[in-house]
Structure 1
Amino acid sequence: MRKILVTTLVVVCSLTVKAQSYIGFQQDNYAGVQGVLFNPASIVDSNFRTDINLFSFNTNVTNDYYGVTFLDVFKSGYNIETQAKLFPSSANNFIISSDIMGPAFMFNIKPKHAVAVFTRGRALVNIHDINGELFNQLSDDFNTNEDFNLNAGHFNMTGNAWGELGVSYAGVLLDKGKHFLKGGITVKYLQGIANSYTKGSNVTVNYNYNSDLPTTNTIATTGNLTYGGSNDFEKSFENFDFDSNSQGFGGDFGLVYEYRPESENKPANGYKFKVGLSVTDLGAINYKLSDQKTYDLNKTVTEAQYQDAGSLGDFLEQNYTVTQTKGAVKAVLPTAIHANVDWNFYRKFYVNLNGDISAANRTALNATAVANVVSVTPRYETKFFSFYLPFNYMQYRGLMAGTGLRLGPLMLGSGSLLTNLISKESKGFDVYLGLKVPIYKSRKTQNTKV
């Protein structure tokens, strides 16, 4: 199992430039078309006539098993298994997410209406409730000269990669004195790339060593193991091969309320504070040509049977009762709730409190979920320049600090950069980078009440 998990992590980390949220940047009033990914209401009454994304990506890795000195990871010969600090528990977790936004744009139809169209490629891998204490003890083989008992318990692994074509609409719902409310909705067509999942239930392994007659060593196992998916996950993602038999639909919706005490003569951003609430990634992808196998592990086999098998898959096929089903399987999207409060406390200085909370069942078969995040981000914001200093607590990786900036058409940053430069036991990282063509509203337009 140790080899399987390490291989999974290496595969996922090498997929491509890897995405959860643009920590710090997503709350900027000049986030433009990227803002639609977190709250579709953000695009109306914005600071842009239009905003065109050329390319942007965001990657996020979080776990509660490995702690590393981040800069050492890039040194030649670094071995995470032997050089990282380990934090094993009975239920360790890994989440790796990737998000690449391709050609996208937003524009205003009228002062109170706006639309956006975007393309997006995403990949998300969840590994939940792996017994890290067991993972820390296992070798690649069962060869040993003593009895041992292993309890893998209940664990869940899911990988899903897909493409999106989204269309968003946002409109002003209320504009009355100091009170301003806008809402938005996104409809997404989903195209599957690859899907893979493994779920173990009450899995135990008991090894009985016979010193007098080693050839009779036995392995007694219990529980059930379910494995399934569409195409080979690594191959499909590396080649970016879409699965023509796998489609689905998804949606997002959101609201933004702004308190505008200077509504008659408002500056570029006319609120004292604003509150946003949204739900993203409702929906699922239907993989029509999937193959699922469930193995009944309640059996005793010999060590020789294990050693003679060419692979773990061959060992399971040759020695355990399997129930196989072929047909359509649904991969549910990582539904999440986003809430934030943004306070313009002095001129061009803001502070934002944001929460990204998973609404998905991470223990369900073939389910993915984002890591929960709570962040506080002070920022300095102008038309052509913004600077962020996010402090965030992310599920599994803990408290981190980062920085980021927006400079005209360029934005880049990380919610973990500062912590990773000084920590000797970092449990994750994130980074984002993007290039766009922003076309701003004139100051006269911005000062006109909508």
Structure 2
Amino acid sequence: MKKIATVFLLIALPFSVWSQTFIGNTLDNYSGINSLLLNPANVSGSNTRAEFNFISISAFVGNDYISVNIGELQKNDFQFNFDSDTDTSPSNDNNFFGNVDILGPSVMFRLNDKSGLAVSSRVRGFFNVNNISGQLLESVQEGFDDQSDFESQMTNLSGNVHIWGELGLTYGRVLIENNYRRLRVGGTIKYLTSAGGLFISSSSLGVNFNSISNTLNTSGTLSYASTQGLDLQNTDFSTLQSILSGTTGIGGDLGVVYEMQLKKDDAFDSFYLSSPYKLRLGLSLVDFGKVNYTGVSEFNYEMNASINASDFEDKSLDEILDENYEGGESLVNPVIGLPTSLQFFADYNWKKRLYLSLHGAYSLAGSELKYSNSIVNSLVISPRFESKALSIYSPISFRQYNSGVMWGVGFRLGPLMLGSGSILSNLISSSSKSTDIYIGIKFPVNEKK
């Protein structure tokens, strides 16, 4: 049990893992394939004839339980001490979340002036823990010897890790285009193959610690399931081989983009966009779909018992559950849903190469769902400078479970892109609870003049 709590805490540390995806980058008119992750309609009317993505990696982690003063860490040459460099905010319903998105070899090209096509490969991993007792985590992590009495009641506890691969085919088309407006639509169909998942849940779980008797009284229920031989003591996914041989499914994205065009006599010089706009609006349904598993072992326990807290020091979770609680194993056929979300954006061209965008992401997969991952609801405001060779953007984010404002910076320079939606705020803040970073290399083929 202590080992599992340690894994949860390490994953949740704001600097420990390599996001939402490519924050600030996907609205760049020259972001190419990366813009399709936000809205597949962007594949049509592209400003490049073709683009090949070699590799792009984005990651995002956060929580509302533990915070780190990264500025102080920097002063101490990043010599990290868990006790002195962190602050905790334990509650009955703490949350941890993270994801990694690897966009592998992919290609996008313009079919003609009205349509475009893209073929993409991705590997993705999501981690969610919702409504877990921070006091319990702290006690398991640090040991119960020095803990005072506490009581926690967790409702709709859920935790899951899921890793899968995607092969996507995207098509988009311009439906309406004239001097004043343009309407584009697009969609992506995804072939999914899963490397596996790990899931823990409880509709109600109570814990009461008595420091005098050193006992932990528990009540309620607890269940967990793991696919492809994974268990609570071993979360080592065998990457590419397991993804290629894993369970399969189908998913997709749908999107629409509307642009209010400039009049011809207001158009920019030929160095800039061939089809400029004053305001661009987009709406998309991202990551709908599922992976179906069969014959997965699920373990269910009645948690009404009292146990010695010292058991957490030298026994595995399996041993604690089997020795102290009534339960059993059953075979289930779980349907693991993708982190479905509704995405929208508004991109305003303020002056020539200067833009101001608003991007919102809202999860349609509830955190209480037993076998589904979910994104973190967020709202991002991002000014940017944009040209063919160089783009610079500075996103300001408001994120669910985060009490502060996240501020970052990123750029695209030729084939290289690099950025973070939180690096600036993390450097100046004394309480950092989430972070993200991305990097990528891709090769655009621009239109000949």
Same fold (TM over 0.5): yes
Q: Indicate the SS of the match to 1:276.
A: strand
Aligned to 2:47: 47
Answer yes or no: is 1:84 the counterpart of 2:86.
Answer: yes
Q: Note if contact 2:133-2:152 (Cα within 8 Å) is conserved in structure 1.
A: no
Displacement of 1:309: 7.6
Q: Note if contact 2:143-2:313 (Cα within 8 Å) is conserved in structure 1.
A: no
The number of aligned residues is 437
Q: Indicate the SS of the match to 2:236.
A: helix
Alignment of 1:371-390 (within 5 A): 371-390=376-395
Aligned to 1:26: 26
1:284 counterpart (280, 290, 297)? 290
Answer yes or no: is 1:297 the counterpart of 2:294.
Answer: no
Displacement of 1:333: 0.4
d(CA) in 2 for partners of 1:145, 1:363:
30
Query: Aligned AA for 1:432?
Result: Y
Displacement of 1:145: 9.9
Q: Note if contact 1:169-1:184 (Cα within 8 Å) is conserved in structure 2.
A: yes
Answer yes or no: is 1:111 the counterpart of 2:110.
Answer: no
Q: Note if contact 2:195-2:246 (Cα within 8 Å) is conserved in structure 1.
A: no
Aligned to 1:229: 226
Aligned to 2:243: 242
RMSD: 2.8
Query: Aligned AA for 1:200?
Result: S
1:422 counterpart (421, 428, 441)? 428
- Describe the superposition over 1:219-270 as per-residue Cα deviations: whole angstroms up to 9, x where unpaired: 5421000101213363115676327341111000000000013258844142
Displacement of 1:188: 0.3
Displacement of 1:136: 3.8
Displacement of 1:150: 4.1
Q: Which moved more, 1:64-73 or 1:427-436?
A: 64-73
Tell me: CA distance 1:376–1:325, structure 2 relative to 1, closer, same or farther (3 Å). Answer: same
Aligned to 2:171: 169
Tell me: CA distance 1:405–1:307, structure 2 relative to 1, closer, same or farther (3 Å). Answer: closer
d(CA) in 2 for partners of 1:150, 1:257:
49
Tell me: CA distance 1:9–1:176, structure 2 relative to 1, closer, same or farther (3 Å). Answer: same
- Describe the superposition over 1:352-404 as per-residue Cα deviations: whole angstroms up to 9, x where unpaired: 01101111111110221111111111111111111111111111233111111
Tell me: CA distance 1:150–1:143, structure 2 relative to 1, closer, same or farther (3 Å). Answer: farther
- Describe the superposition over 1:312-352 as per-residue Cα deviations: whole angstroms up to 9, x where unpaired: 21121122221322243221100011101001111111100
Aligned to 1:62: 62
Q: Note if contact 1:245-1:289 (Cα within 8 Å) is conserved in structure 2.
A: no
Aligned to 2:253: 252
Aligned to 1:447: none
Q: Note if contact 1:94-1:128 (Cα within 8 Å) is conserved in structure 2.
A: yes
Tell me: CA distance 1:275–1:424, structure 2 relative to 1, closer, same or farther (3 Å). Answer: same
Q: Indicate the SS of the match to 1:234.
A: coil
TM-score normalised by structure 1 residue count: 0.89
Answer yes or no: is 1:365 the counterpart of 2:370.
Answer: yes
Displacement of 1:135: 3.4
Q: Which runs of 5+ in 2 are unaligned?
A: none
Displacement of 1:87: 2.1
Tell me: CA distance 1:377–1:87, structure 2 relative to 1, closer, same or farther (3 Å). Answer: same
Answer yes or no: is 1:183 the counterpart of 2:185.
Answer: yes
Aligned to 1:405: 411
d(CA) in 2 for partners of 1:56, 1:294:
40
d(CA) in 1 for partners of 2:298, 2:64:
29
Query: Aligned AA for 1:60?
Result: F
Aligned to 1:344: 349
Q: Indicate the SS of the match to 1:42.
A: helix
Q: Indicate the SS of the match to 2:235.
A: helix
Displacement of 1:110: 1.5
Identity of aligned residues (%): 33
Tell me: CA distance 1:162–1:72, structure 2 relative to 1, closer, same or farther (3 Å). Answer: farther
Q: Note if contact 2:132-2:154 (Cα within 8 Å) is conserved in structure 1.
A: yes
d(CA) in 2 for partners of 1:31, 1:242:
28
